[in-house]
Amino acid sequence: MLTVANVSKTYSGKKLFIDVTTSFAPGNRYGLSGPNGAGKSTFMKILEGALEPDDGSVSRPRKTAYLKQDQSAYNEHTVLDTVMMGNAVLWEAMVERNKIYESGDESDEAGMRLAELEGVVAEENGYMAESEAEELLQGLGIPGELHQTLMSEMSGGNKVRALLAQALFGAPDCLLLDEPTNSLDLDTIEWLEEFLYSYGGVLVVISHDRRFLNDVCTHIADIDFETIITYPGNYDDMVRAKAAVRERQLMQNQAREKKISDLKDFIAKFSAGTRATQVQSRKKMVEKLAPADVKRSNIARPFIRFEIGRESGKHVVDVEHVTKDWGEGPLYTDFRSHVNRGDRIGIIGKDGMGKTTLLKLLTGEYKVDGKGKIEWGHETNVGYLPQEHEDTIEPGKTIDRWLHDYKPQADLEEIRGLLGRMLFRGDDGLKQTKTLSGGERVRMLFCKLMLLKHNVLVLDEPTNHLDLEGCSALAEGLAEYKGTLFVATHDRNLLSEACTRIWRIRDGEILDFQGSYDEFVERYGH
């Protein structure tokens, strides 16, 4: 059991949660929800012990594992050793045992200590440790030839996978995962879901992947109203339950207000007459019937709609004999495709297979090798959201000024309307671009795309930094988009809702599937 007692935390002057008391039971899988800035990661750090609360305490199981965020902490260790270090008791016993063997010490004391250490190794299932660690790494997409590689030599994405394997290793009693699907491809997300289904301990997970939370979670612990309220069911169940509670509160308030109005009519009618006792009684009833304060829910969804200015021609782009090779073997060879107006193409594949490269070939940032060519059709107007977008945002400007510079003819009302739709309220438009969080930057970039009304959108991992409601709003907005879409994403909800066609990159080839993502999965799997 993971237990939280009277925990409070204030961060940068903002009260995140006050006097929270709750518990997380073994066998249940809890999603920790709340918008960006609500305090999810702060609460997770308190659960794992990396951050002290202002008040209160946390009681956690002895074997509590969590997904570490410092990718450089294990640079001097191999990938396999890094995973096994997830069970600290076992790892320390193995290290000490190996030192005694290497020292050649044959004393009675050394023999007794070795016996104790072998007992610890056996108790922690240490004789199967390497095979368990290898199985986890394989499941998370790190092949066997990389298991003895130093962490310092691994890519950022593979470091994250190794640290996730470390958290999963050794059958922990409690597992705390902050955004575990980041850097995972669709196959690996599915593998992780299957692993977590069979996990019997306490699981608390933060994720912006709505389908992941819906598939995995049995409960949602929602940070709202400066406390944490736990709802049975998955994320969608929680949203419905919150809406129902709020609706009941509003209806109760309407009934109270009607009753108050009737009582006040009585008081006004008879206050000067002979029914003074009844008037006083009704005045007291009015005081007791004051409507309850219906707090605003923290579920705030942006309104994302991409309109097009001028329609493109029917033929949007021809891709002919496209090949790309960075000198280590081709990413893909001789890819050919024809895209028509209104096609919405989802681009999927494992990390490193060339999804971002393909988008940059489409936008002209990279050149096609050899005789290949990409020819855009009549009246195409391409809007591009790169995955790494920090350098595209000019510092030294406010949000509204930054947007206005892209469309000087836009009036203030249009700019503020867009900002409001993307949850920049009040004076938020006066924030400096250099001070924005990752989520705020992405929402600002969506404002730009909506402002310029492109008839072609090229989006590279657009859900990065968005919260759950932002991801859902984006999927709905792209499903309504009348232009042509190319989107590389691991978000299955977005693929399912928005895409009418799939390009899958695998083994140096691109499969062009004419159909929805769900139809693709039914035929090919992930």
pLDDT per residue as tens digits for the range 178-232: 989 887 888 888 899 999 999 999 999 999 888 999 999 999 999 887 788 899 9
| CATH number, domain containing residue 370 | 3.40.50.300
pLDDT attached to residue 279: 67
Q: Is the pLDDT of residue 340 over 70?
A: yes
482 and 343, same domain (yes or no): yes
251 and 390, same domain (yes or no): no
Burial of 59 (0-12, 13-18, 19+ CB in 10 A): exposed
Cβ distance 137 to 121 under 8 Å? no
336 and 373, same domain (yes or no): yes
Bridge partner residues of 4 (DSSP): 22, 58
The Cα–Cα gap between 523 and 526 comes to: 9
Cβ distance 400 to 416 under 8 Å? yes
Q: Is the pLDDT of residue 294 over 60?
A: no
First to last CA, the chain: 35
Please, which pLDDT band fits residue 371 given cuts at 50, 70 and 90?
confident
Cβ distance 201 to 62 under 8 Å? no
The Cα–Cα gap between 197 and 465 comes to: 26
pLDDT attached to residue 40: 87
In a domain, 278, yes or no: yes
Q: Mapping DSSP to helix (H, G, I), strand (E, B) and coil, where does residue 353 land? A: coil
321 and 250, same domain (yes or no): no
What is the arithmetic mean of pLDDT over 155-173? 90
In a domain, 362, yes or no: yes
Q: Is the pLDDT of residue 300 over 90?
A: no
The Cα–Cα gap between 92 and 352 comes to: 35
What is the arithmetic mean of pLDDT over 306-318? 94
Residue 31 tokens read as 């999603």
Core vs surface per residue 91-104: b (16+ CB within 10 A) or e: bebbeebeebeeee
265 and 319, same domain (yes or no): no
- What is the C-alpha R_g of the chain? 28
Q: What would the pLDDT profile of 9-33 be if each residue is shown by its tens digit?
A: 988 777 888 899 999 999 999 999 8
In a domain, 174, yes or no: no
The Cα–Cα gap between 415 and 294 comes to: 31
pLDDT attached to residue 80: 94
pLDDT attached to residue 453: 96
Q: Is the pLDDT of residue 286 over 80?
A: no
350 and 460, same domain (yes or no): yes
> CB neighbours of 356 closer than 8 A, spacing ≥ 6?
387, 460, 488
Query: Residue 171 CB: number of other CB atoms within 10 A?
Result: 15
Length reported for the chain: 526
Please, which pLDDT band fits residue 482 given cuts at 50, 70 and 90?
very high
> CB neighbours of 497 closer than 8 A, spacing ≥ 6?
475, 476, 478, 479
pLDDT attached to residue 389: 80
In a domain, 514, yes or no: yes
249 and 387, same domain (yes or no): no
The chain-wide mean pLDDT, for the chain, equals 88
List the Cα angle 430/460/75 in 5-degree steps. 95
pLDDT attached to residue 293: 55
In a domain, 243, yes or no: yes
Q: What would the pLDDT profile of 255-270 be if each residue is shown by its tens digit?
A: 666 777 766 777 777 7
339 and 481, same domain (yes or no): yes
Q: What would the pLDDT profile of 230-256 be if each residue is shown by its tens digit?
A: 999 999 898 888 876 666 665 666 666
pLDDT attached to residue 37: 74
383 and 250, same domain (yes or no): no
Q: What share of the chain is helix, strand, coil (3-state, %, to 5)?
A: 45, 20, 35
Core vs surface per residue 16-33: b (16+ CB within 10 A) or e: bbbebeeebeeebbbbbb
pLDDT attached to residue 299: 66
Bridge partner residues of 485 (DSSP): 344, 457
List alpha helices for 350-467, DSSP H. Answer: 355-363, 399-406, 412-421, 438-452
pLDDT attached to residue 70: 83
What is the arithmetic mean of pLDDT over 459-463? 94
476 and 344, same domain (yes or no): yes
In a domain, 160, yes or no: no
Q: Mapping DSSP to helix (H, G, I), strand (E, B) and coil, where does residue 275 land? A: coil
Domain that residue 243 falls in: 238-288
266 and 395, same domain (yes or no): no
pLDDT attached to residue 226: 77
Cβ distance 399 to 428 under 8 Å? yes
Domain count, the chain: 2
Contacts from 243-246 at CB under 8 Å and sequence distance 24+? 246/294, 246/297
In a domain, 113, yes or no: no
Residue at which a domain ends, from 251, 272, 288: 288
351 and 274, same domain (yes or no): no
In a domain, 471, yes or no: yes
Residue 406 tokens read as 């892209």
Residue 32 tokens read as 């920790």
Please, which pLDDT band fits residue 511 given cuts at 50, 70 and 90?
very high
